[in-house]
Amino acid sequence: FRSGIQAPQASQKLTELKLRFKDFEGIISEFGIVQDDIENLDSSASQCTERDSFENAYFDLTAKIVDFIDTHTESTTQQAAVDFENESNTSRISHSARIKLPPLDLPKFSGAYDEWLPFYDYFKATVDHNEDISDVQKMRYLKSCCKEEAAGIIGSVPITEQNYQVALQLLVDRYHNLNYIIYRHIKDLFNIPKIRESSASTLQRLLDDTLKNLRALENLEQPVNQWDTLIVYLTTSKFDPETYKLWEEKWSGELASLANLTEFLE
């Protein structure tokens, strides 16, 4: 019996060891009874030595077993707590991925360069910085906002807590290129089509396209308020001959501002 439990291994079943230890605790009493009978028959010093030797071995082994049981009971309890926490986290993430999201009025993003900054700023304020929304839910909102090219960039990224920041960073790396966005708005100003036949709608469209790009450039901290002469020249070069003639009659010999041009077209 002693050889079976004298050096308990971590792999030994804790329950089995506890059961065997219950039997082991009674051995000292049984030994005492038997040893008393022996010493009544033989009171020599050798029998006293035998008693001392047995008791020392018994209590030494008892101490080892108690320490082993206490240590591994604590480890088992801690592991159970860890397992429970992991299961709880997994369950919470799974539940977050399944529950119906509260409706939010979020813009869609297709991958068009002129959509990126308005979308990104609004999404950050409404979802990304919202501490009441889990990252799994943020990931679902992000995927629901993206379509066409943008959807393809993050489409293969699974919906998990860890992947939310991964997916958002993929979009930032692809679209948050301020130099490119600025150049595109400037290019769009130059590429506004020339008016072939004057009408209220064509003149209004010319003005709208011009102001839209200028506002975007101003939001990108470009010195738009210093560009009046350039913008007036660029825009009036898109006029049809009749409209340009009216403009020249009004502003011939005088340097017009963007405000003057806006007033003229409106």
Three-class SS string for the chain?
A: CHHHHCCCCCCCCHHHHHHHHHHHHCHHHHHHHHHHHHHHHCCCHHHHHHHHHHHHHHHHHHHHHHHHHHHHHHHHHHHHHHHHHHHHHHHHHHHHHHCCCCCCCCCCECCCHHHHHHHHHHHHHHHHCCCCCCHHHHHHHHHHHECHHHHHHHCCCCCCCCHHHHHHHHHHHHHCCHHHHHHHHHHHHHCCCCCCCCCHHHHHHHHHHHHHHHHHHHHCCCCHHHCHHHHHHHHHCCCCHHHHHHHHHHHCCCCCCHHHHHHHHC
pLDDT at site 57: 75
At residue 13 the predicted structure's pLDDT band, cuts being 50, 70 and 90, is low
> What is the percent of the chain with per-residue pLDDT over 90, rounded to a whole number?
41
- Are 13 and 32 in contact, with CB atoms under 8 Å apart? no
Is the pLDDT score of 128 beyond 70? yes
Is the pLDDT score of 45 beyond 70? no
pLDDT at site 93: 44
Mean pLDDT of the chain: 79
Rounded to whole angstroms, how far apart are CA atoms 14 and 187? 76
Is the pLDDT score of 112 beyond 80? yes
Q: What are phi and psi of 226, to 5 degrees?
A: -105, 5
Which residue did the predictor score with more confidence, 26 or 89? 26
222-254: per-residue pLDDT in tens?
999 999 999 999 999 999 999 999 998 888 777
Rounded to whole angstroms, how far apart are CA atoms 139 and 161? 8
At residue 92 the predicted structure's pLDDT band, cuts being 50, 70 and 90, is very low
Region 157-165: mean pLDDT is: 90
pLDDT at site 26: 61
Rounded to whole angstroms, how far apart are CA atoms 64 and 102? 58
pLDDT at site 116: 92
56-86: per-residue pLDDT in tens?
776 677 677 776 767 766 555 555 444 545 5
How far, in whole angstroms, is CA 8 from its chain's centroid? 46
pLDDT at site 104: 79
166-222: per-residue pLDDT in tens?
999 999 999 998 898 999 999 999 999 999 888 889 999 999 999 999 999 998 899
Rounded to whole angstroms, how far apart are CA atoms 262 and 207? 7
Region 150-155: mean pLDDT is: 92
